[in-house]
Amino acid sequence: MASRTMETISRSGLQNLILSDSAHITNVKSVSSYSWIDTPTPTIAVPGSPSLWSPPVTDVQLPQDSGLYNIAENMVRMDPDSPLAPIFSAIFTTNPSFDFGSISVITDGNNIRKLLSFISPGSSRDTSEPFTIQLELARNTLLMCRHETAATEYIGPHEFRGYRHEFEKAFTTRQIDAESGDLRILSALIERIITLMTGCCGRGTLRYDVATASLIISANDGASNMLPEDLYYDVPVIMY
């Protein structure tokens, strides 16, 4: 589907931004959780059961990570048009009366890290990699869906990428057979946040362009304008 650029936000333009000293996160609550089960049909266990800490009794030497790993479980297991389905299923299972109308933004932690990398050049979060976040507005709630060119990653036997996966296998024990990923869903109030767009109806994308060091906000044809506003709001957010 064709799209049109609605707004471009440059890194250099952030230098003149007046930030509020009172910006902070409050009212953090656990909403739900779920674990992916490695089956042919997409299946989750609710509530989730994260692996338990169970270190070996003696010293061990870990092999380096190698093999095929999922880097985005929802993308691997769900239809591309419904990556957030397990989020809603988990929440309605544990809390059928949950009020989504009170939530302004639904996103995952990966999207947050990518946006932090954009606004924090030179920090440990900084990245020179391009990224895209899919956007959709459902009434007054902005859905931010993770987008990756590949949902899995293969690490060759002679390609060093650290020991994360092997460490988890050696020092934790799964509570559910065939469990392949555990996600916790939180809600929080992010106070004094600057909203970048309002009045959007339909779908769009937020893309980081490395060459220009800019975020480019585009709306798919048929969607109404995304109107940038430099206004402060207290924004209820769900993160998973």
Going residue by residue through the chain, which has 240 residues, state the pLDDT in tens, using 9 for 90 and above.
556 666 677 777 776 665 656 667 788 888 999 998 888 888 888 988 888 999 999 999 999 999 998 888 888 888 777 788 888 889 999 999 988 888 888 888 888 888 888 877 665 555 567 888 888 877 778 888 888 888 888 999 999 999 999 999 999 998 888 888 888 898 888 765 544 444 444 677 777 777 777 777 777 655 433 333 333 334 455 565
Q: What per-residue confidence (pLDDT) applies to 16?
A: 65
pTM score: 0.77
Please report where in the chains the tokens 């989504």 appear, as a residue: 100
Q: What per-residue confidence (pLDDT) applies to 64?
A: 95
Q: What per-residue confidence (pLDDT) applies to 228?
A: 33
Q: What per-residue confidence (pLDDT) applies to 183?
A: 86
Query: Is residue 94 classed exposed, middle or buried when 0-12, 13-18 and 19+ CB atoms within 10 A define those classes?
Result: middle
Q: Which residues, other chains included, contact 81 with Cβ-Cβ below 8 Å and sequence gap of 6+?
A: none
State how far the Cα of 41 lies from the Cα of 37, in Å rounded to an integer.
9
Q: What per-residue confidence (pLDDT) applies to 113?
A: 84
Domain that holds residue 214: 3-239
Q: What per-residue confidence (pLDDT) applies to 28?
A: 85
Q: What per-residue confidence (pLDDT) applies to 126?
A: 55
Do 143 and 135 touch, CB atoms closer than 8 A? yes
Q: What per-residue confidence (pLDDT) applies to 124?
A: 54
Q: What per-residue confidence (pLDDT) applies to 17?
A: 63
Q: What per-residue confidence (pLDDT) applies to 56?
A: 92
Domain count, the chain: 1
Q: What per-residue confidence (pLDDT) applies to 226?
A: 34
Do 105 and 239 touch, CB atoms closer than 8 A? no
pLDDT tens by residue, 12-42? 777 666 565 666 778 888 899 999 888 888 8
Q: What per-residue confidence (pLDDT) applies to 128?
A: 66
